[in-house]
Structure 1
């Protein structure tokens, strides 16, 4: 085994989503790993038979402020951030009576899920995680000594490495750290998007010097994030790969549409569907149908009924309509459906 591998003797586990934690619990029991945990996570691990040390036993301070303060304590963060390759760090830990962590497992409060649920602002704010990102960033920074796991998809591998005593290599810990930094960056970008759309700059803070000629002020930075939804059938051309990413705060649009049948969508399918949808709604409230191929309408018509509009749109270029995307700005009737059916 390479010297860069670090066995996992002590773990800190604090997860909002408990799915899949059973595999870690079994590994901790089998390996005799010392586990420190918080609140409901500690309760869940104890139910699974893990000998858990509650975080307040380590900090000497109870979880407080309705759970807002749990792990924000030097006894926790010194154990996360101590570089065990540094003799001075090891000496200071010994002097302070603090044990280092070899593994940190964290997932965050579901901020985006809470916003999408329609919760009020106070509820959204309570789902802005503070301690979780702090632990993740600390462990990711200190990847020289600590493995940071933020994705339940990595639990099975982690359990194996805990049980066999191998731990993770430095290169593996770096990869997990990069993954963790990407997650906290995305989490903060989502919060920034939400706050910037709701908390406008008050008039009392306006400055003429900071405004452009149109009287609007530009933000110094723009932070947005998108989450991978799924891999597409292919990209713009069959030999290319593509994936669909969605805005975590937005449930509107084709990215969130339910596919009722047919092959998985390709990149071109999404582009054509968006083009067709935009085309027909330009004619509302008149009933309109569009037939789009390669992102351009090859047929577009209005009618007294949706079936009539479809017949007229299809007649514009029946040859190009083959393999195209059809959109209507009203409910599709049985008559139209029968016309579309091959």
Structure 2
């Protein structure tokens, strides 16, 4: 079951890195709040988009960071059709994985003979994660669900549009290497900062990525995979146009961070759960 039971329709032999990124992309695309497409590169997401048509979702995912998407892995929770395949074929990608690929799409992909095209079943039930350390092995329970208690901690409550954006940002940030901050609107990510020792640097990178892609941050929402240790990250996001933030809470400076959000007019929610992927 899951990705391990994939069928390869075409392309070169899969490498270790191909399989790791395909696994990450396949898990992420099925964690989205609706049907969509994600692009993963070197272990982290560089775009996610929602849509009822795979071509629409793909365009939204690609727009987040088209530079980083080059050479990435594309996963769709929707069956791929000819239009989606034609759009994907305009980008150099290593792997494409979807639940099904129709005949028109297969014919379009043939022009990219080295592209690895896979079909797979939905992800299997979560299993413990294994990591090798010097002389031993670590076993960790999977970050498997959304058993959270979201609560508003600011004077302002997020709007329906902000809640949709918060949900998408939070779902994606689970799959990004910590420290991670994801900015999104209701249908796509618009900026991703991940893998940084400093959370404020992840905020800065997410904002800069959106600017480089020409995407507006006005009215967007951000998800942070762990708490903000200082108000500086929230201040940076607000200055860029982000209007709502989801974070776990739990910092000794939570009060300062919430006060900063109130001062800036930001709606903030504590999720009660961190992701903190390492």
Q: Do Structure 1 and Structure 2 share a fold, with TM-score over 0.5?
A: no
What TM-score do you get using the length of structure 1 for normalisation? 0.26
Structure of higher CA gyration radius = 1
Higher helix share: 1
Which one scores higher on RCO, CA 8 angstroms, separation ≥ 6? 2
Higher strand share: 2
